[in-house]
Amino acid sequence: MESNMKSEKKQPAKDRSPDPLHVVILAAGKGTRMKSTLPKVLHRLAGRPMLDHVLETARSLGAAACHVVIGAGAESVRSWYAQAHPGATDVGFVIQEPQLGTGHAVQQAMPGIPDAARVLVLYGDVPLIETSTLTELLAAAGSDMGILVAQMDDPHGYGRILRRTGKVTGIVEEKDATPAQRRIEEINTGVLCAPAKAMRTWLSKIRNDNSQGEFYLTDLVRLAVRDRVRIHTTCVSAAVEVQGVNDRVQLAVLERSYQRQQAERQMRLGVALADPDRFDLRGSLLCGQDVFLDVGVVIEGEVELGDHVHVGPYTVLKDARIGADTRIESHCVIDSAIVGRSCRIGPYARLRPEAQLADEVHVGNFVEIKKSSLGHAAKANHLAYIGDATVGARVNIGAGVITCNYDGANKHRTVIGDDAFIGTDSQLIAPVTIGAGAYIAAGSSISRDAPPEQLTICRAREQRSVRWKRPVKAK
């Protein structure tokens, strides 16, 4: 495909048509090869349904409306969209039942499209098509017809572009092609744009006298040629943009292709990745300078990393903000949390939603923090649970400490003042306040407020029995 690649410096042609754009997204397929109860277009790529990627691209084109044609699993698709995009009004759903081909699918959407519009047809299982590619297609087509094509060394399975003296004369599907036509390497991607009024007329004239007994959208090209409408082609620069998904193998291939693109983009922005092939971005990532991400790091939602942040292997960061010079060791999970500068976290630490760490906080292995704030230079270095708590500056929380925040019905808060020391294996039974500078002896169960600058010990009385005998198993 090298000879057909678009130059990165090439600017899309100015769109010659002022007509409003309506995008039709075909998403009615059963996806039987996915072997799943989930509709194919809801299978996830980079953490989001494939259909969501296509809708985002359509919106980026400034579409006046999107018309999603659904069939198999229609209610699941509607339900997902209502939850993912509450209040959105620019997407409508139409049912294709029975499913009689791509031309028949587009027919179902046409009643909601005005004659003055232009129509762009996309596919819910082709998630990686670029906005720039479609912008170029629309600009080249103007008020005529435009089709997106690709050059493939192995075009098997695709419709072939037929030309005469360089001009497009039609598209022939693989199963209907002659041996000579099957040797053509210029293929139809299925992406097409045309004026709505003309498309409505052509759709009414297509026939299903083919090997599949379906109404092909590609027949519109033949009808446009007959009506002497100019057909403009735009060649896609990378085949991965127009690769569809029919099974889980193809989905995995697209996932790794997408992730490799994201990894390369981050590295060009200055992020150091230990292995670009073991990096997953399922949202957005904003990094300062000299950020290092080790192997297996997963980014979800919106994540921001300050200068010189180091993230260890197999760590998950979701909707998190991490301050400069912070080091996160391996196998940590940080979800909807804010971490200050120069902190040390992990390994095997978990920060749950609404956890907030001030600067220079240490959170060690097997420490879980939820809906709590830790003040400057506080430490919880191992085996602790801190939930619904306000922890002051320079507090030391020993191993095995638990804030007992839940009474079986309601959550209660623990407050620990600056410079307090919480000894190993202590339980703080909320609601409770530990005064500034207080010292809680190891093994204490604290259910009343502990005064500042004093030692508090609360342990059960130790007992011994000289008559005790070690239990033995019955023979």
How many percent of the chain have pLDDT more than 70?
96
pLDDT at 16: 52
CATH 3.90.550.10 residue ranges of the chain are 2-248
> Greater confidence, 17 or 430?
430
Please give the pLDDT value at position 454: 96
Give me the mean pLDDT over the 218-240 stretch. Answer: 93
The interaxial angle of helices 102-109 and 196-203, nearest 10 deg, is 130
Give pLDDT tens digits for 85-128.
998 888 999 999 998 999 999 999 999 999 999 999 999 999 99
Q: In 3D, which of 123, 124, 107 has the Cα closest to residue 38?
A: 124
Q: How far apart are CA 326 and CA 204, in angstroms?
A: 63
Q: How many residues does the chain have?
A: 475
Tell me which of 22, 43, 104, 382 is the catalytic residue. Answer: 382
pLDDT score recorded for residue 320: 98
How open is the CA angle 197-199-204, to the nearest 5 degrees?
105
Tens digits of per-residue pLDDT, 343-391? Answer: 999 999 999 999 999 999 999 999 999 999 999 999 999 999 999 999 9
pLDDT at residue 17, as a whole number: 53
Strand stretches in 60-103, DSSP E? 65-70, 91-95
Looking at the predicted structure, is the pLDDT value of residue 11 above 50? no
Coil, helix or strand at residue 45: strand
Residue range 446-470: mean pLDDT, rounded: 90
pLDDT at position 6, please? 35
Q: In this structure, which topology does domain 2-248 adopt according to CATH?
A: Spore Coat Polysaccharide Biosynthesis Protein SpsA; Chain A (3.90.550)
Catalytic: 412? no
Q: Judge whether residue 4 has pLDDT over 90.
A: no
Mean pLDDT within 413-433: 98
**Best CATH choice for the domain 271-456 from the list 1.10.20.60, 2.160.10.10, 3.40.30.10, 3.30.499.10:** 2.160.10.10
Q: Start-end ranges of CATH 2.160.10.10 in the chain?
A: 271-456
Q: For 134-158, what is the mean pLDDT? A: 94
In single-letter form, the type of residue at position 179 comes to P
Mean pLDDT score across all residues of the chain: 93
Q: Which range, of 21-25, 365-369, 459-463, averages the lowest pLDDT?
A: 459-463
The predicted-structure confidence for 257-295, as pLDDT tens digits, reads as follows 999 999 999 999 999 999 999 999 999 999 999 999 999
* pLDDT for the residue numbered 9: 36
Render pLDDT for 190-199 as a digit per residue (tens, 0 to 9): 999 999 999 9
Q: Given this model, what pLDDT does residue 18 score?
A: 62
pLDDT value at residue 461? 83
In three-state secondary structure terms, 78 is helix
Helix extents (H) in 144-212: 179-182, 196-203
Segment 3-30 shows an average pLDDT of 64
Which pLDDT band holds residue 173 (cuts at 50, 70, 90)?
confident
